[in-house]
Structures are given as C-alpha cells and as structure tokens.
Amino acid sequence: MLKEYFIGITKEAINLSARAGKLGEMKDFEGELFCDKPKNPDFGDFAINISSLAKVARIAPPQIASAIIEQLPENDYTVSVAGGFINFKLGTKFLQNILNEVASKGENYGRTNLGGNKKVNIEYVSANPTGPFHIGHGRWAAVGSSLSDALKFAGYDVFQEFYINDAGNQIDKLGMSLELRVRELKGEKIEMPEDSYRGDYLIECAKKYIEENSSEDFSEYAKIEMLRQQKELLEQFGVHFDLFFPESDLYKNGEVETAVEKLAPYLYENEGATWFKSSEFGDVQDRVIKKADGANTYLTADIAYHYNKLKRSDELINIWGADHHGYIARIKASVEALGGDPNCVTVLLGQLVNIIQDGEAVRMGKRKTMVTLEDLIDEVGVDGVRYWMLMRSIDTMLDFDIDLAKSQSDKNPVFYVQYAYARCCSILRKAIETRFDTVDKKELAPFLTQNEFEAALKTPPTLPKSNDVDPSFKKLILKLEEFNEVIEAIARLKAPYLLCKYASELAGDFHHFYNYNRVLTEDKNETAMRICVVNCTKTVMGIVLKLIGVSAPERM
RNA sequence: GUCCACGUAGUUCAGCAGGAUAGAACGUCACCCUCCUAAGGUGAAUGUCGGGGGUUCAAAUCCCUCCGUGGACACCA
C-alpha cells in the first residue's frame, strides 16, 4: 500500500536525521505515524503530519519537517513542507505501477493474507423457524454475508452458520397453531389463542399439509416447512450458509448435558431453579439454567452451542439485534467459566430497522400486517435490498422507506454504482467495434484492433509526465489503489458498509473522469492508456459489487 | 434507576486509531450531449458538528456532565 510506503520511508528519514542530531533533543523515534490523503489536492497526494514530534524534539514542526525531507530516498515523487505536514506528490511511475498491479492480479486485486487463515465462525440471522423473515432479518443477512466474503478476501478462513432455535416451547406453539389451522380448513370452527402464531402463512402451510395427506407431527411439519422457506429466500437473496445448526441437535447429542456438567462449579440451587453464577464473570446478575419446572432455558442450549463453536474456531462473531444487548455478558461469562477466552467472542450489535410508510415510522412488531423480507425483495429487487441494508453502519438505526424504495427505485443508490460498471463495459465493447461514418455511413475501422486492445488491457502504455496527467485520471487511479485499504479497514473494524461507501466513491471518480476524458479517440496511444484505466475500474468495481452481493450488469 | 448505540446542511447519512478551508446523496437554483450510455458531470445556496465544561500546540473526533432519540434490563425465545 502506498500509505505504508510513505510511512516507512518517513520513519527511516526521521531516524537518520535524529541520529545526525538534526531533530533537536530527539534520539530515537517511537510511536506511530499516520498517512492521509489531503482533502485539498493542491497540497499533494499523500501527507504525513509530524507535529507530534515537536514535544520530544523541542523545535518547531516546520523545522522538523524540513530536516526529515532531506533524508528521504529518491523516487518518482516530489515533496513539500507546509507547517507540520510533509506532502508527497506522486509521479506517473506510481500510477503506472498501480495499473500494472490491477491488470495482472485481475479479480484477485486487493486480496490479502491479513487474516493468516484464522478460523472465524460467523453466526447471523438465526431466526426462529416459526414464520417468514421480517425486514430486520434482511439487514443481518446482507451484513453477515458481505462481512464473511470480505473477511475471506482478507485472508480469513470463514465459516458461516445459522442457528435454528427449534427446541423451545415456541415450536410447540407453532405445532398447535398449525393444528388449529388444519382443523379450521376441515370445517371446524376454531379460535386462535393469544399466544398462537396467527399469521396467514400458516394457513398456506395447513393447505399443503392437507394436500399431502400428511400425518406427521404438526410441530415437526411446520418447522421443516418454515425452514425450507427461509432457506429458499436466503438462497434467492444471495446468502449462503455453510451450516444450519439445529438447537435440538445439542440435546440429541448430549452436548447440553455435558456443558451443564462442566459448568457445575458455578451452579447453585435457589427456589427450585438452577442458577449459573455469571455475575462472577462480569454479568450484572446470575442467570437461570434450569427452571423450577425442570425445563432448560434458552441460554442453556446457547451455552452449549458456543462451547461447540469455540472448539472448532479461533474466533466467533455473532451478529445480533440491539435488543439482545443484555445477552452478551452472560454468553461471555459462560465461555470464560468453561475455560475459554471471552475475547474470542465478538458480538456485533446492530441497531434495528425502522419501516417508514406514508412518511411515518412504524415500529416493527407494532404493525398489523408485518412486511416480510420476501415482500420487500419482490417490490425492490435483490440488488436494491442488499445494497440498502448494507449501506449504513450497523451502529445507526436504518430507516427503510418503503414508498421511496417502491416509487423511486431508479433513485436507489445501487444504480449509481452499477451504472459506472455498465459504462466501463460499454466503452470496452465500443473500442473494438466497427464504426460507421455519421455522414456518409461508410464503414470505419474500430478504434483499436483486437491485438492493440488486448495489449492495452495487459500493460498500460507509458503515461505522460506527471504534470500532464489529467487530475480526474490521477484521482481515479489513486482510488483504485485505495481498495487495499478498504479491505484492511473492513477486516479491522468488521464494518462491511465501507464496501458501499467505496463503491460509491469509485463510481463518482469514474463518472468524473469520463466527463473530462474522451476515452475512444483517433490517438491510439491515448486511447490505449484510457482503455486500460477503464478496464481496471471495471475489474475493481466488479470485485466490490460481488462482495456487496449485487449484480454487475454489463448493460443498463 | 442501570447498561448499550446514536445526536453533523431542509432530509438521509459519511467523516471520529485528534491535525491544513467540516463532505456526499436527495431536495432547490443555474449550466454541460454533432462524438464512448445525461440512470452522468460542473457550479451556486444551505452548518452554534445537541448544550456546557475539560485534556491538547491542535477536538466533530478523546474525557466528564447535562439534554434528546432508539433499544435492553424474565424461571420468554
């Protein structure tokens, strides 16, 4: 990465000048330097602020900066000092190297080994198999899926998992609800109780049950049917899990029992229930593991589940809704009590999704008719929903304006980035197409022959001198280079929304470039040079769109 | 009451491992297609970065406090 390069040579230069006694009282440099891209391009392409050295050196920042730049190695850049800033302006050699790298690495451009093959288990969605997904599940599906793909790209060994809560009493309720619907369809007059699942989807399920003349247990039948529908929708949404882990398996395999036994030193009885001393491990209070009626709580199986996951992973990531925030401490407590490292568990708490309808926020769950994820995808399309759900940091509440998504779907930000990709494709197509004279309709040779075209894609022709490079051209190339940083930042911050941010910036820089530089001209060398940049943009945008989980259309 | 997240332009948000004049999109206004897709670009207007303290050469960014919004505080899952 270029930032790292400039930090490296600057550190080296600091040490050289310090040893030469040019940096006042400073002897050895300790600490960190940060390299930024100045907002104002007149300053340069990269900048390092060395003001923090003034305290140790006890001389003014500009003086320090001037001493440092004398020790910088020769390369194709120019350096200037402004206050405490050392500004670097790149020559074309750097730009050329960037293009070479994108061209040679292709769809692997930006891939790193940062993760060192660390085994990361990422669990998300994990909805109850008691009904269709709602809009909120869509957010975790999009975020989890893109984060997984980005982490793979950053060199992690990622395993995506969906936990099926199929062992609690809500499954009994589901079965009871289905049974009532079946009896209703057979002509019986029934009343759906308060605590039953009253959504219409169970009527459909009941019809199927009757059609198939099934005699299966109602709970089992409904569960399998709901799960089948959920898996189908996830597939349609482009979300792929490596494993659907049923909670009931933990009981079948005796893993819940084993976990409880291992937890024994921290268990006690009170008022007929069994409690886990989670407060000893930082939780605000102790938690019930076995209720007075003898049944386990949801937590009990979840403890066993995390124990199971930890045995086969180096790190666990859970994506949960903000309403589960109180749950983190008890899970981490159990991990520690079972001898694991609670720091291996990262919980990403995502704020909930608000539905905006008729210009008003409707809190989820308070609606009379729930908007399902499936409905939303039908209305807006997979691309729109995935982009929209991923676009914002999970720390902020997401307002999903249904009317806006429906009525102004062409205003959807995903079009902006897809359009940039389509534009690239279009230019590349046109470069080798036969042309016709606009006046006399005579056939003209393509801008580039097939050979010239392929050569341009492989290696960029020599770029003009730095001063003659169009600013928008340079900015675009530097944005391509920035992709490396974006991948690194996503892995570090576990913030996949940065993909959307980058995609939109890259698209912006490309559209800007497009408006200032005619790509296809009679000047073959210039055409080849620009074709190369267009192709590199297409490559990088293609990678990003794939990670975001939306399509990369060649035409729009 | 305790815990978590958030509060930046009319609106939705970015920026927050402190740094050079606080950015984008949408909306408003004015421009740019004889030629590669105008689903695009350029320019203009709009800000007490919730209030108040503090740390620092430097604070939207870090700390404290107050206010506001959403969420969580089960022998539910």
For A198, the token pair is 């009253």
**Nucleotide B26: closest residue by CA–C1':** A411
For A122, the token pair is 């990422």
**CA–CA separation, A134 vs A126, rounded Å?**
12
3-state secondary structure of A365: coil
Interatomic CA–C1' length for residue A544 and nucleotide B62, angstroms: 33
Name residues whose C-beta falls within 8 Å of residue A255's C-beta, 6 or more positions apart in sequence.
A249, A304, A307, A308
Residues A91, A95, A98, A103: what is their CA dihedral angle, to the nearest 10 degrees? -140
Interatomic CA–C1' length for residue A146 and nucleotide B5, angstroms: 22
Nearest 5°: the CA angle A219, A368, A383 is 80
For A501, the token pair is 């941010």
Determine the residue type at A191: E
Q: What confidence score (pLDDT) does residue A365 get?
A: 45
**CA–CA separation, A182 vs A83, rounded Å?**
78
Residue with tokens 């008729």: A358
Counts for chain A of helices (H) and strands (E), in that order = 20, 17
Interatomic CA–C1' length for residue A134 and nucleotide B47, angstroms: 37
DSSP string, A426-481: HHHHHHTS-EE-TTT--EE--SS-HHHHHHHHHSPPPPPPGGGS-HHHHHHHHHHH
Residue A96's CB is within 10 A of a number of other CB atoms, namely 19
DSSP state of A253: T
DSSP state of A55: H
Q: What confidence score (pLDDT) does residue A367 get?
A: 42
3-state secondary structure of A391: helix
Could you say which nucleotides of strand B lie within 7 A of any protein CB atom? Answer: 2-6, 12-15, 17-27, 32, 34-42, 57-58, 70-77
* Nucleotide of closest approach to A498 (CA, C1'): B14
Interatomic CA–C1' length for residue A24 and nucleotide B47, angstroms: 42
Residue A14's CB is within 10 A of a number of other CB atoms, namely 25
CB A514 within 8 A of CB A378: no
- What are the distances in angstroms from CA A281 to CA A273, A286, A311, A341? 20, 10, 20, 12
Spatial CA neighbour of A501 closest among A555, A547, A438: A547
Name residues whose C-beta falls within 8 Å of residue A13's C-beta, 6 or more positions apart in sequence.
A68, A69, A70, A71, A72, A73
**Nucleotide B70: closest residue by CA–C1':** A397
**CA–CA separation, A31 vs A8, rounded Å?**
13
Q: Is A258 exposed, middle or buried (0-12, 13-18, 19+ CB in 10 A)?
A: middle
Q: Any long-range contacts for A285-291 (C-beta under 8 Å, 24+ apart)?
A: A287/A330, A289/A260, A289/A263, A290/A260
Name residues whose C-beta falls within 8 Å of residue A420's C-beta, 6 or more positions apart in sequence.
A506, A507, A510, A511, A537, A541
Interatomic CA–C1' length for residue A108 and nucleotide B9, angstroms: 40
* Nucleotide of closest approach to A50 (CA, C1'): B19
* Nucleotide of closest approach to A271 (CA, C1'): B75
Residue with tokens 């349609």: A236
Residues of chain A where predicted confidence (pLDDT) is lower than 70? 358-370, 407-409
Name residues whose C-beta falls within 8 Å of residue A246's C-beta, 6 or more positions apart in sequence.
A164, A166, A167
* Nucleotide of closest approach to A81 (CA, C1'): B20
Residues A473, A545, A488, A341: what is their CA dihedral angle, to the nearest 10 degrees? 170
**CA–CA separation, A187 vs A144, rounded Å?**
44
| Helix H or strand E encompassing A56 | helix A54-57
**Nucleotide B24: closest residue by CA–C1':** A505
Q: What confidence score (pLDDT) does residue A366 get?
A: 40
**CA–CA separation, A230 vs A374, rounded Å?**
10
Q: What confidence score (pLDDT) does residue A400 get?
A: 84
* Nucleotide of closest approach to A512 (CA, C1'): B41
Interatomic CA–C1' length for residue A396 and nucleotide B28, angstroms: 28
Q: What confidence score (pLDDT) does residue A363 get?
A: 55
Global confidence as pTM: 0.95
Q: What confidence score (pLDDT) does residue A414 get?
A: 92
Interatomic CA–C1' length for residue A102 and nucleotide B33, angstroms: 32
Spatial CA neighbour of A433 closest among A458, A456, A450: A450
Beta strands in A297-350 (DSSP E): 315-321, 345-350
**CA–CA separation, A61 vs A63, rounded Å?**
5
* Nucleotide of closest approach to A167 (CA, C1'): B77
DSSP state of A266: G
Nearest 5°: the CA angle A6, A24, A33 is 25
For A58, the token pair is 């006890």
Spatial CA neighbour of A80 closest among A40, A48, A34, A54: A48
**CA–CA separation, A552 vs A545, rounded Å?**
6
